[in-house]
A = this chain, B = another copy of it.
Amino acid sequence: MNILKDFLTTELPSINRVLHKELETLNPLVREVGEHVLQAGGKRLRPLLTILMSRCLGRTGDDIYPLACSLEFLHSATLIHDDILDDAHIRRGRQSAHLIFGIKRAVLAGDALLALANMIVARYDVPSMNFCVAEAILKTASGEVEEIDNLRNPEMDEAAYLEIIKGKTAYLIQAACACGAMAAKASPHVLSMASAFGMNLGIAFQLVDDALDFAEDSKLLGKPQGNDIREGKITLPLILFLKTLSETERGQLLQTIARDSLDEEQILDIISSVQKAGLVQQVRQEADVYLKKSLNALMTLPESFERHLMQEMVDLVKTRKF
């Protein structure tokens, strides 16, 4: 992991510098909201993937940074709008943007960041890249609206869950990889492998995220444990847990969830039962299946320093504890 750490130490300042520089072009009222979200940190996973993929496929030079940053702007825009939707109070350990700046400024700042990202991508003169990021945003919005529609839905199954996490998380990570490949003028086959790498990595990333919300050490996430269940989000650990219950128990619990009348004690009980039944582990194993697919796609790409780093990123998702 030390190579990845060294790489991050070199690259993160460059990414943050370009993020800041592009933000400076915005109206101050909007910029302030963007800076709040971006300064809170985050893993910069998406820009890193764009940079690594483009270099792995042979693009050289520093002009990849704005493209890479546009993916972070898209991600930030979805976070800002998402927090309004969830009425989340904490994001990356800081107060959510809409609580500081108001819903109105937060909605418009999200729109402005989406637009800024599209402008940056358009500067690269590759229309398929514009199509790719626009499609990713459309899928992200669709995934989020499906998630909201399925809050406390007792009918929610694994297939519906998978579609939601593909939408809300995986498509944008796929787009980060695909844009890197397109910037390197990859062939259609190579592009499809880069996309498959990103899509499967993204699914695994969200599966692990959802597992961690039920895990013992999830306090490290900077948000309360059991956040999803409190918000009525039926994620894979809960879906698997419901399967372990008798029909009567399941019916009762589903009714309580549907009515949004779980109390704090019940929530902690469910979390503890999920842990005891080994379901956090099971969801991580499910994530491993996608990580394997991700790795298989990656290994078809040219052997390179960057491919090695992307391989380490796969390992990082696999072993992620917070």
Q: A-side interface residues toward B, CB under 8 Å?
A: 26-27, 29-30, 78, 81, 84-85, 103-105, 107-112, 114-116, 118-119, 121-128, 130-131, 133-135, 137-138, 140-142, 144-146, 148-149
Contact across chains for B81 and A144 when beta carbons are under 8 A apart: no
Contact across chains for B108 and A85 when beta carbons are under 8 A apart: yes
Contact across chains for A27 and B119 when beta carbons are under 8 A apart: no
Query: CB within 8 A of A81: which of B108, B116, B133, B137?
Result: B108
Chain B nearest CB, measured from A71 CB (Å): 14
Given contacts A27-B145, A119-B134, A146-B27, A111 and B108 within 8 Å (CB-CB):
no
Contact across chains for A29 and B137 when beta carbons are under 8 A apart: no
Query: CB within 8 A of A137: which of B26, B115, B135, B149?
Result: B115
Q: Which residues of B lie under 8 Å from residue A141 when comparing CB positions?
A: 30, 108-109, 111-112, 115
Q: Which residues of B lie under 8 Å from residue A112 when comparing CB positions?
A: 137-138, 141-142, 145
Name the residue on B nearest A135 (C-beta).
Answer: B119
Query: CB within 8 A of A107: which of B81, B109, B118, B133?
Result: B81
Chain B nearest CB, measured from A256 CB (Å): 23
Q: Which residues of B lie under 8 Å from residue A119 when comparing CB positions?
A: 131, 134-135, 138
SS class, residues of chain A in contact with chain B: helix
Bound together, the chains give a CA A85 to CA B109 distance in angstroms of: 12
Of all A-B residue pairs in the complex, the 8 with the closest CB atoms, nearest first, are: A118-B134, A122-B131, A115-B138, A27-B142, A122-B130, A115-B137, A119-B134, A111-B141
Q: Which residues of B lie under 8 Å from residue A149 when comparing CB positions?
A: 29
Contact across chains for B29 and A108 when beta carbons are under 8 A apart: no
Q: Which residues of B lie under 8 Å from residue A84 when comparing CB positions?
A: 103-104, 107
Chain B nearest CB, measured from A31 CB (Å): 10
Chain B nearest CB, measured from A36 CB (Å): 14
Q: 8 other contacts beyond A112-B145, A115-B141, A122-B128, with CB at 8 A cut-off?
A: A30-B145, A84-B107, A104-B148, A112-B137, A118-B133, A118-B134, A126-B127, A127-B127
Name the residue on B nearest A104 (C-beta).
Answer: B85
26 contacts between A and B (CB under 8 A): A26-B142, A27-B145, A29-B142, A29-B145, A30-B145, A81-B111, A84-B103, A85-B103, A85-B104, A85-B108, A104-B148, A105-B145, A107-B107, A108-B142, A111-B114, A111-B140, A112-B137, A112-B142, A114-B114, A114-B137, A115-B134, A119-B135, A122-B128, A122-B134, A124-B127, A127-B130
